Amino acid sequence: MKISSDSIPLLKKLDIKVYTLESDTLQVRIMTYGGIVMDLKVRDKNGQFIDVALGFKEPSEYVAEAYLNGCPYFGAIIGRYANRIKNGRFRIKEHEYKLDTNNGSNHLHGGFKGFDKVIWEDDVIDYYGSPALRMTHTSEDGDQGYPGQLQVEVTYYIENDNGFGIDYRATTNQTTPINLTWHGYFNLSGEGNGNVLDHELMINAPQLTEVSATGIPTGNILSVIGSPFDFTSPRIIGDRVKDVKMGYDHNYVRFPYGDIPKIVAIAQSPVTGINMTVWSTQPGLQLYTGNFLNANLRGKSGNLYGTHSGFCLETQHFPDSPNNPHFPNTLLEPGEIFQESTIYRFDSK
């Protein structure tokens, strides 16, 4: 395994670095702006490298007006809080905090300038005997309305030659909510190669958090068994997608979860034979089927990204947890360490 980097201009007088992690079966290209994974190439059933991650060829395209207007968060690190917080408000003891409301009346993915829009500090480290990219960021007290200074580390690495690993770590000097994820869009048939409704998917979760029309949890946790949301056994994504208004954008509930990554989901393309197994320590998984992609963005292949051009499997804590005390806790206290891990492993059949 090896790692290399290049300095590339992002905006006038502003340079970033683009790193490449490589093994015999996996190639990952990452830029320090947003921690964005630009390419994720894996071998198909014929042994050929296929890029399975939606995104752009050039870093400058991620700061273009056309992209920022809709901002689908292609391949980015999301924080301080992934997913939605109702009305951008939460309380810690007697104090109410008001966050950016960048998704209608709600707060989404950390606000107008979340972790997907900052330039991360970078360092190449030895990680379990192999080179890895560690990125760090300090989110100051009051950033997007959040309390406390938060120190964040995200480590990207290749695990056992065929796994793309993401480890998260954070500390704070003041009680604050935290929910970190990686917002990768996959098309296992190849980026830009049609939609993903023919992919087979299994999600190892029998429940989900019920949400309102604006994606905010009602507080209820519902069984998926027998419903259009039931992926407890492998089935085609498109089988019942029309029974779900707009498509899938829902948080699946995993119990038990803990310090050791376990299988969360398995997906496969019938075209390339590429199989992806998702392992994680996190209690939730957001299945999103690219419902808001509207063919106004052209990807690396030169093809437009229309509805369902990709799907996301975002390991996370639950949306709006600060306002639902019966959900797994997302409040990080001084002296504590937030630590989570997710691995996307690839093979082909």
- Give residue 346's Cα distance to chain centre: 17
DSSP string for residues in 240-283: SGGGSTTS-EEEEE-SS--SS-EEEEEEE-TTT-EEEEEEES-S
Q: Give the residue numbers marked as catalytic.
A: 183, 314
Helix-, strand-, coil-residue percentages of the chain, each rounded to 5: 10, 45, 45
CA gap 335, 148 in Å, rounded: 13
Structure tokens at 102: 């960048």
What is the separation, in whole angstroms, between the first and last Cα of the chain? Answer: 23
CA–CA distance from 118 to each of 33, 105, 135 (Å)?
6, 24, 11
The contacts of residue 324 (CB under 8 Å, 6+ apart) are: 217, 219, 318
In terms of Cβ atoms closer than 10 Å to its own Cβ (0-12, 13-18, 19+), residue 60 is: middle
Residues β-bridged to residue 285? 252, 315
